[in-house]
Structure 1
Amino acid sequence: MPASPPRLISLDGLRGLAVMGILLMNIAGFALPAAAYFNPLAYRPAGPAELALWAIEFVLVDTKMRALFSLLFGASLLLVLDRARAAGMDSERAHFRRMGWLALFGLIHYYLIWHGDILLLYAVVGCAAWFFSEASTRDLIRWGLLLIALQCLIFIALFVAITLDGPGSEGWRAVQEEFGVPAAATIARDLALHRGSYAGLVAHRLFDAGWLPLTQILLFGCETLGLMLLGMAGLRSGFLTGGWGRMRYLRAAAIGYAIGLPLTLLVAWLCWRSGFDARMILAAAFPLGVPARPFMLLGHAALALAWLAGPPSPLRTRVAAAGRAAFTNYLGASLVMTALFYGYGAGLYGTLGRFALLGVVAGAWLLMLLWSKPWLGRFAYGPLEWLWRSLARGKMQPMRKLDIARHSQ
């Protein structure tokens, strides 16, 4: 058996930063009523410090880490396909088996663990990305940007359709409940649900919100595919493999931030100026957020790659290890956070403020950095990475590095 190809430290490091950043935004979804994810006034009073924290997270983190994860998923998808083709394997069959099992993981994650799953979306969109896997770098960039532009148009059409209904309509009330300050009764139901039993939460996802995974695919499919294609282009061009010089990465970061930061700051200011009006928050979350996102993504990715290109350090090594086990860290975070906040666990849902939640995130980051490196010092894959690989290949894969070395001799 041939030895496994060397790891790309740049991809692993970026993936580690992305999975840690995703938790920073997801913590509100784990710990607070749903509208609080978007609107800082949705649950409990917010003073200047809380509004400043919202602004920082909105400008630098919200949707940017998900975009980075999508970019990296596309790059990894292409890397697996290219390696399978080079090894003479049936890359098409292998790819769709991987996506099929990922979809199953996503369904389990959504219905049995947490409502904020992205794995099913990635599995479905990853199937569509296969059709672009042999396109040139230039075509991948063109298609990626076109799909992101199409996503913006879809969001504009949805926003106009909802707001044209006018006050008193069902769509208008839904916007107020999901993006504004919900009624006290809505908050009370949300708290009771998440502080209640595990069976009650699963029943809610199955029978009251069973359609959400499909809605997510329809709502975000175009942009997610576009970002995956840009990730493929980033792999082909050497951008994501660490093939650019440090100064080139810094110049790319400066360009991304020079365009993306003013646009994002403007949207944040519009939200604040409106008094966090539900319609403005809806616009910020959807159509107004799209144009700046690729530029902020470029800035974040290039700046991170410039840092990863530096001399080896314990922190870089541990971040890269967290990225190698990103699948395990992503699902593991859901298990830990739901056990911490939901009623069948510690029951802290709705009890902690936003600054206290930062402490929870910091603790989770520390756990990711502490366990991933020693585990991968002994094993070739994270636990769930190994399970996914074994299921996709239809047989148990060797996991210990010692066993793999014996098989490769």
Structure 2
Amino acid sequence: MADVTMTTAMEPDGAPRLAGLDILRGVAILGILFMNINDMGGSLWASFDDPRHLGWSQADQVAWWLRDVLASGTARCLLEMLFGVGMVILTDRAANALRASADEADSPGGMLRFLFGDWAVMRGYYARNLVLWLFGLIHLFILLWPGDILHTYGIAALIALLFRRLGPKTLLGLGMLMALAQLFGAGFNLHQAQTRLAQVEQLQGRIAHKQKLTKDEAKQVAKTVERKKERAKDKAETAKRVAREDKARGSDTATFATWADSAWTSTLFIWGVNDGIGDGMMLEPLFIWEAFSSMLIGAALFKWGVIQGRRSRAFYRNTMVVAYAIGLSGRAYIAFVVMRFDDYPYLIYAVGEVARLATTLGHISAVYLLLGTAWGVKLLKPFEAAGRTALTIYIAQTIICLWVLYPPWALGLYGQQGWMALMLTAVAVNAVLLVWANWYVRHYAIAPVEWAWRSLIARRLLPIGKRSKAGDNREAGVIPAA
């Protein structure tokens, strides 16, 4: 499948970009809006609690189910994997440049560059991701998007870099071990919860028949009652957050000040700060764990030639069948039990991360199967431009939704769309951005946010326009998934 892996776009050093990776990145960055738009156009906290808050007509149920089974988390997972790919490409290229420089110089200075080159490579990559982390903070606190991934990826990439020299088997093993830790950890907790519920039901049956319990059995019943009270308290607190968010973002009294305060409060609560209703959630370490593990898996897939389309058509066909069989079946069953809304600790919830990884691998395989056909290339070719402008598109999605469509000072559509309308809005926004991306790359070398990022890293203003046919895109660079 090598005929679809190259494109005429160039790196600053003249190296060709990989078209397959750009297409995957374009699909992922546009796909992520389907995950974000419900939290932009409706209550973020309702997503943590009950999807029916955003609308639950028959059409809404279909839209939610398709989103949850086919897409939920997979765009983020693919971006994380591509970040791992970018780490390998960029650091290998920098290391090769330093090695070539050392080979050309027989002087002690040349040898020192060779000996300390790895530190130079790491320092450059650290600087790159620290700037990205700062962009993430701007996205969080100025553009007001609590769901930002840039700051998380910037931190996770700094950790992943330490593992870049490992072989693909070790990288995949470490990444899967972290994913399985979530499987077994969640599975153990869910199994324990199921066991406690079954035991207490039996004990309560004995109480109903006026049978005396032992002291330990009475304590067990009391603990279960206390846990139910805690869960009820958590649900009540979430309901308060939803109501407060709806008032701050979508009521007649909503203003820029209340909109901004709601976003900042949500961000800090996710980071573990009390929001006036309850203690913070401290989710950031879990987000970093997830991103780091997926980056390692992405780096392994790149070293094996999988994620850039260098394996056989039979390989991608077989991989897609197996990956979808595991991922989609697990996710379909999870969606089924979620729609019961009975608050039972189903054991299937534990497979969520493994199913997410499998479904993402199925999506990657499906893309390369499509790229093995003429009509597939025609269908997916426009997404290459989206991949080359991914960071700008990601920020543009936020600006369009949080500053034009939904805020009270603009169109004020917050809370007025159900799941189907939200998904259709995401389609419309992405269609506009896809058309813009294809127009932009025909006229300019590097997208605006990418230009700002790379100019800060280079500590000089990079040219943004195309200078000549031979020099097209010399400043574009590989943009790891934003």
How far 1:126 moved relative to its partner? 0.5
Describe the SS at the equivalent of 2:416. Answer: coil
1:31-58 deviations in whole A, cap 9, x for unaligned?
A: 1112443566531652333222222111
Are the structure 2 counterparts of residues 406 and 221 from structure 1 closer, same or farther at C-alpha, using a change threshold of 3 Å? closer
Say which is worse superposed, 345-354 or 311-320, in terms of deviation: 311-320
Are the structure 2 counterparts of residues 157 and 112 from structure 1 closer, same or farther at C-alpha, using a change threshold of 3 Å? farther
How far 1:150 moved relative to its partner? 2.1
Q: Give the one of 255, 263, 266 matched to 2:333.
A: 266
Say which is worse superposed, 16-25 or 147-156, in terms of deviation: 147-156
CA contact (8 A) 1:137 1:233 kept: yes
- TM-score normalised to the size of structure 2? 0.75
- 1:308 maps to 371
Q: Give the one of 417, 421, 427 matched to 1:362.
A: 427
Once the two structures are superposed, the pairs formed by residues 24-43 of structure 1 within 5 Å of their partners are: 24-37=34-47, 41-43=51-53
1:162-183 deviations in whole A, cap 9, x for unaligned?
A: x9761222x55325654xxx3x
Once the two structures are superposed, the pairs formed by residues 182-331 of structure 1 within 5 Å of their partners are: 182=239, 186-195=241-250, 196-206=254-264, 209-213=267-271, 215-272=282-339, 275-278=340-343, 287-311=350-374, 313-331=377-395
C-alpha separation between the residues in 2 aligned to 1:125 and 1:352?
34
How far 1:210 moved relative to its partner? 1.9
1:293-348 deviations in whole A, cap 9, x for unaligned?
A: 22111111111122234337554221110011111111110111012101132111
Are the structure 2 counterparts of residues 245 and 394 from structure 1 closer, same or farther at C-alpha, using a change threshold of 3 Å? same
Are the structure 2 counterparts of residues 382 and 268 from structure 1 closer, same or farther at C-alpha, using a change threshold of 3 Å? same
C-alpha separation between the residues in 2 aligned to 1:92 and 1:168?
50
CA contact (8 A) 2:389 2:447 kept: yes
C-alpha separation between the residues in 2 aligned to 1:244 and 1:329?
30
Describe the SS at the equivalent of 1:368. Answer: helix
- TM-score normalised to the size of structure 1? 0.88
CA contact (8 A) 2:184 2:350 kept: yes
Amino acid of the structure 1 residue aligned with 2:161: W
CA contact (8 A) 1:341 1:348 kept: yes
How far 1:250 moved relative to its partner? 1.5
1:8 maps onto 2:18 in alignment = yes
C-alpha separation between the residues in 2 aligned to 1:83 and 1:203?
43
C-alpha separation between the residues in 1 aligned to 2:26 and 2:241?
36
- 1:385 maps to 450
C-alpha separation between the residues in 2 aligned to 1:264 and 1:203?
35
1:66-119 deviations in whole A, cap 9, x for unaligned?
A: 111111111112211111112227311110001101111111111222111111
Q: Give the one of 465, 473, 480 matched to 1:400.
A: 465
C-alpha RMSD of the superposition: 2.8
Amino acid of the structure 1 residue aligned with 2:471: A
1:112 maps onto 2:142 in alignment = yes
Say which is worse superposed, 350-359 or 326-335, in terms of deviation: 350-359
CA contact (8 A) 1:150 1:222 kept: no
1:153-205 deviations in whole A, cap 9, x for unaligned?
A: 454577779x9761222x55325654xxx3xx654322221132223333344
CA contact (8 A) 2:146 2:266 kept: no
Say which is worse superposed, 54-63 or 41-50, in terms of deviation: 41-50
C-alpha separation between the residues in 2 aligned to 1:62 and 1:280?
20
C-alpha separation between the residues in 2 aligned to 1:191 and 1:62?
24
Say which is worse superposed, 126-135 or 24-33, in terms of deviation: 24-33
Structure 1: give runs of 5+ residues left out of the alignment.
none
How far 1:383 moved relative to its partner? 1.0
Say which is worse superposed, 127-136 or 262-271, in terms of deviation: 262-271
Q: Give the one of 85, 98, 101 matched to 2:131.
A: 101
Are the structure 2 counterparts of residues 260 and 41 from structure 1 closer, same or farther at C-alpha, using a change threshold of 3 Å? closer
How far 1:243 moved relative to its partner? 0.6
C-alpha separation between the residues in 2 aligned to 1:176 and 1:20?
35
May I ask how many residue pairs the two structures share in their alignment? 397
Q: Give the one of 45, 48, 56 matched to 2:58.
A: 48
C-alpha separation between the residues in 2 aligned to 1:346 and 1:2?
41
Structure 2: give runs of 5+ residues left out of the alignment.
1-10, 99-116, 197-223, 273-281, 475-482
C-alpha separation between the residues in 1 aligned to 2:291 and 2:447?
25
Describe the SS at the equivalent of 2:17. Answer: coil
Describe the SS at the equivalent of 2:137. Answer: helix
Amino acid of the structure 1 residue aligned with 2:428: G
Are the structure 2 counterparts of residues 4 and 200 from structure 1 closer, same or farther at C-alpha, using a change threshold of 3 Å? farther
1:19 maps onto 2:29 in alignment = yes
C-alpha separation between the residues in 1 aligned to 2:472 and 2:399?
35
CA contact (8 A) 2:132 2:151 kept: yes
C-alpha separation between the residues in 2 aligned to 1:63 and 1:132?
24
Amino acid of the structure 2 residue aligned with 1:17: V
CA contact (8 A) 2:146 2:264 kept: no
1:61 maps onto 2:71 in alignment = yes
Amino acid of the structure 2 residue aligned with 1:227: S
CA contact (8 A) 1:36 1:43 kept: yes
CA contact (8 A) 1:191 1:350 kept: yes
1:238-284 deviations in whole A, cap 9, x for unaligned?
A: 11111112232121101101222222222122223xx2234659x87
CA contact (8 A) 2:183 2:350 kept: yes
Describe the SS at the equivalent of 1:277. Answer: coil
